[in-house]
Amino acid sequence: MVSTVRENINNPQVPVPSAPMSFSPNMSIPDRLEKIQNYMNTLQYNHTGTQFFEIKKARPISGLMEVAKDMIRESLPIKCLEAIILGVFLTNGMLGMERFPVSFKTKFNDNYHRHVVLGIYHGGRYGALGMSRREDLMYKPLIYKSLSELIVDYERAYRKYWHDVKKIKIGLPISHDPHSYEFIQWKTLTLTRSKLTQQELCREVDAHAKDIRTKGKQKLKRVDMPFLAFRKSRSWSVPQTSSPRKSLSYADMASNHSSFNQAVRLYNGSGSAKGSDSSKKESTDLSQYQIRI
């Protein structure tokens, strides 16, 4: 059926929206988020009752990013869960921004409904990206001073539509690496709304928001470096000299392979360089060097 539709040249040409894959360096983060949300709105909400893209929450981020590419390629209507994955893909690389899932379970006329949005934290403000049948249950600009203020605003919107919020689930920051094999933490914090007062809800949510900011900073600091520090420590049997100490950068030492490798072996406790004959003949006095990184 799909092939028949695609190969029919008499079908009207449907314009395909262009995804905001790159932004001007001068464009602010709030403007970028608004542009991403406008793109999602152009795709439209999927009212057909059939989900066009399979989203498995247990898949790693790398696999989910491939699904996001399919969404952009096909440009079909999406639902809230698909909007989360698409939002993560389009906001990857925006350093200083934390993305985390926020989901709601509500009850209306004895029927339970589930909804999820992509929470955003940047510059001390909170907001959200998403898709919904209702405009006030999806996109939220970066104007909320706390995460609890954002959650309360969603609750206020649900009351307008006579939905009773049963549970609220908030995850942890999502990696910016599109090739990561990490999994999205969808429900690190689960709150049963009927068991919490408004004050208790705000306290629990804001405490979790602090964890989100902390873990986001920890991920940002994960930089692979061969040496973070090189100091003259341990028991080295290196003769002391009265020559002035020289300060070398990491690049300087890396360019001098023999001296660098000898320093590495000494630092690891081998005591002396064991390698080629040329390295044995060298008598580099490492006490006069100090690596600066």
Residue pointed to by tokens 């520090």? 229
* Type of residue at 290: Q
Q: Which two tokens stand for residue 283?
A: 């008598």
Burial-class residue 3 by CB neighbours within 10 Å (0-12, 13-18, 19+). exposed
As a whole number of angstroms, the distance between CA 136 and CA 130 comes to 10
Give yes or no for a contact between 137 and 125, defined as CB atoms under 8 angstroms apart: no
Phi, psi for residue 100 in degrees, rounded to 5: -150, 145
Which candidate in 103, 115, 122, 208 is catalytic? 115
Active site residue 257: no
Q: Which two tokens stand for residue 65?
A: 């990013």
Give Cβ neighbours of residue 100 (< 8 Å, ≥ 6 apart): 118, 119, 121, 170, 171, 172, 173, 174, 185, 212
Give Cβ neighbours of residue 212 (< 8 Å, ≥ 6 apart): 98, 100, 121, 147, 172, 173
Which candidate in 62, 132, 258, 279 is catalytic? 132
Active site residue 115: yes
Q: Which residues are catalytic?
A: 80, 115, 132
